[in-house]
Amino acid sequence: MAGQKGRRSFGSLRQQKSKRWSASYVDDTGKRHFAPNTFDTKGDADAWLAVQRAKMVTGEWKPAPRSVVIFDQWAERWLAGLEKSPRTVYSYRTTVDRDLTAPFGSLPLDKITTAVVRDWYDTLPKDKPAKRAQAYRIFGQIMRAAAADGLIDASPATLRGAATHTREREVPDLEPADVDRLAGQMPPYLATTVYLGAYAALRAGEALALTRRDVNLKAQTVRVLRSAGTTTPGAERIGKTKTAAGNRTVAIPKTVTAKLRDHLDAHVGQEPTAYLFESPARPGQPVSYQTLRQAFRGASDAAGHPTLTYHGLRHVGAVLAARAGATMRELQDRLGHRSVSVAMSYQHGSALRDRAIADSMDAAITAAGKTDEQEES
C-alpha cells in the first residue's frame, strides 16, 4: 500500500506511491539518515538497514554523504511514478516543461532554497493566477516527494497560499429565462447542452459523452458513465469521468426531458450508442470540447453574460437544487463530488430524493415561464 510505514526495532521503511521502498534510521544524536536511493523491494530496503545497524554496533558506521540529485532527474522519476490519468500526467508534464525546467532543471535538489523559490515565484505572470498556482502546487509536490525519499531535509516550497488562487470570474445567478436565452444563442444541435449543464449540473465532457442509451425519458434521468476530453497524447478521446463519484444517474426536470425528447428526434441517430451531440465534421464522434467552448462563448456574449463559462452552468444547477431543498450531501451526489464508497452507501436513498429535487426545480422553471408570459401580455 502506497505510503505504508513499517514498524521495527531499528529504522523505518516506507513504500512510496511509485511502489518503491525508502529506508531511514536515527543515529545516537537523534539525527535521521535516509538511504541514498529507494529500493525495488521491501527486502532490499530491510537489508540496507541491517547493514547500517551492523556498522553502528561494530563502530564502523560513518554518516554517508547524501547523493546529488538534479531537479530534472527527480522530476522525471516523480512523473513516471504518478498514479494519475493520462490527461492529468500530460497536464503535469506540460507544467514542468513550461514553468519548472528552465529555473530549476540543472540545480541539485539541495541547492533549491526557499529564497530561490520565492524569486522564481515572483517571476510567474500575475495575470494568470490559475497557471501560477498550478506551477507552484506541482513544484511543491515534487519537492515534498524528494523530502519523503530523503533526498533533501525538507521541502523549500513554504510560501503560504501560493498553491491556491481566487477565481476572478464571478458566476451569475441565472434565472430560467436567462438559461433559455443562452440555449437560443447556441447552434440548434448544441442547444440542449445548456439545459443539461444548468439543470442536470453536468460537466462539459460528461454532456458530450452521452449516448442515446444514457437517456431514460420514461424515468426522466440521464446516466453519466464517461467523459469526452480534449485530444491528449496517451489518453483516450472518451474516457472515465473526472472522479469515481462522477458515475451517477441524475434526475432531470420534466421540461428538460421534453427538450431532450425533441433533441433525440431531430439530431440523434437511432443506434443506442449514437452520441447525443455528434460532430458534424466527424460522423460517429462527439463534438469536441473546443467546439462546444467556442459555441458557448459566442452564446454567453450574445446573451449578455460574457464572463460565464459552460462549467459555470453547474453553479446554476446547484443553486436551483439548493433552493428546492437539497441537502449538502444530496448536492454532492447530484454534482458527482463524493467518493465512490460513500456515494454507493447513499445511492438508493438519494435516488428518490433526487427525483423530488428535479420535480421541484421543474416547478420553479414552469412558474418563471408563466410569469414571463403574464408580463408580456
Mean pLDDT of 164-185: 80
- What average pLDDT does this structure show over 322-347? 56
**Considering only 2-11, 104-113, 194-203, which range has the smallest mean pLDDT?**
2-11
Please report which confidence band the pLDDT of residue 333 belongs to, taking 50, 70 and 90 as the band edges.
confident
pLDDT value at 317 more than 70:
yes
Least confident of 5-14, 155-164, 205-214: 5-14
As a whole-number percent, the residues of the chain with pLDDT over 70 amount to 79
CATH number for region 176-376? 1.10.443.10
Does 12 score more than 80 pLDDT? yes
Confidence of residue 362 (pLDDT cuts 50, 70, 90): confident
- 202: Cβ–Cβ under 8 A, 6 or more apart, which residues? 196, 210, 222, 224, 250, 314
Distance CA(19)–CA(27), nearest Å, equals 26
Each residue's pLDDT tens digit, 48-98: 999 988 988 888 887 766 668 899 989 998 998 887 777 788 889 999 999
Among residues 202, 238, 209, 176, which one has the least CA distance to residue 310?
202
Enter the pTM of the model.
Answer: 0.59
Collapsing DSSP to helix, strand or coil, 95 comes out as helix
What average pLDDT does the chain have?
82
The domain ranges of the chain are 5-58, 71-148, 176-376
Give the mean model confidence (pLDDT) for residues 215-232.
Answer: 84
The pLDDT value recorded for residue 93 is 92
pLDDT tens for residues 236-257?
A: 567 666 655 567 888 888 999 9
Average pLDDT over residues 158-185: 82
Rounded to whole angstroms, what are the CA distances from 355 to 85, 164, 238, 262? 32, 36, 28, 21
**Given this model, what pLDDT does residue 241 score?**
62
Helices then strands, counting H and E runs in the chain, come out as: 14, 9
Query: Which residue type sits at 280?
Result: P
* Pairwise CA distance, residues 113 & 177, whole Å: 55
Residue among 61, 62, 54, 60 at smallest CA distance from 10: 54
> What's the mean pLDDT in 221-234?
75
> Catalytic residues, which ones?
203, 311, 314, 337, 346
pLDDT category at 210 given cuts 50, 70, 90 is very high
Mean pLDDT of 257-283: 94
Question: Does residue 201 or residue 142 have the better pLDDT?
Answer: 142
Burial environment of residue 211 by CB neighbours within 10 A (0 to 12, 13 to 18, 19 or more)? buried
Indicate if the pLDDT at residue 22 is higher than 70.
Answer: yes
